[in-house]
Amino acid sequence: MADPIVLISPTITLDSVDMTTFIKEVTLDVEADDVDSTAFGPDGWKTRKPGLKGAEIKLVFNTEFNASTVDDQLWGWFTGGVPITFTARADDGAISATNPQYSGSVVVLKMSPLAGKVGDLAEQSLTWPITGAVARAVS
């Protein structure tokens, strides 16, 4: 049995900008629609097929307002109104069968420039839909 991994040094880029050091959490969700394909029959069980696929990426950023960091980058992507590319892999090592890289394009529909309670670290917890396919590279 293979050893499970611990996320310590993943790599996450947005619009070819390495944002890894500003991100404290990442979740890439991919799914297919559940299409009921049941027809008349004596067994009384539903049958299903996978339908259209979709995905989203969830990121939690530590907020910074320095030039070319979190707020500056997110604001530009949000106001730009065009999809941006992303890449994500579990380790900053080479892309391989044991360290696949996932990539695609996200639509930046939301940002939270100010969020938090008194005494808390300022964070932005964002979920963006992926437009088009998610690719998985192993080399």
**8 Å CB contact between 101 and 54:** no
7-46 pLDDT tens trace = 999 999 999 999 999 999 999 999 999 999 999 998 899 9
Of 1-5, 33-37, 94-98, minimum mean pLDDT range = 1-5
Going by C-beta distance under 8 Å and a sequence separation of 6 or more, which residues neighbour residue 39?
Answer: 47
- Predicted local distance difference test score (pLDDT) of residue 59: 97
For the cut 90, the answer to whether the pLDDT of residue 127 exceeds it is yes
Q: CA-to-CA distance for 59 and 113, rounded, in angstroms? A: 14
Name the helix (H) or strand (E) containing 135: strand 123-137
Going by C-beta distance under 8 Å and a sequence separation of 6 or more, which residues neighbour residue 33?
Answer: 50, 51, 52, 53, 54
| Chain mean pLDDT for the chain | 95
**Neighbour count for residue 79 (Cβ, 10 Å):** 9
Three-class SS of residue 73? helix
Annotated domain spans of the chain: 11-34+47-137
Instruction: Tell me the CA distances in angstroms from 3 to 98, 125, 132, one per residue in order.
Output: 11, 30, 32
70-86 pLDDT tens trace = 999 999 999 999 999 99
Three-class SS of residue 116? coil
DSSP secondary structure string for all residues of 78-93: HHH-S-EEEEEESSSS
- Predicted local distance difference test score (pLDDT) of residue 33: 98
**Neighbour count for residue 96 (Cβ, 10 Å):** 13
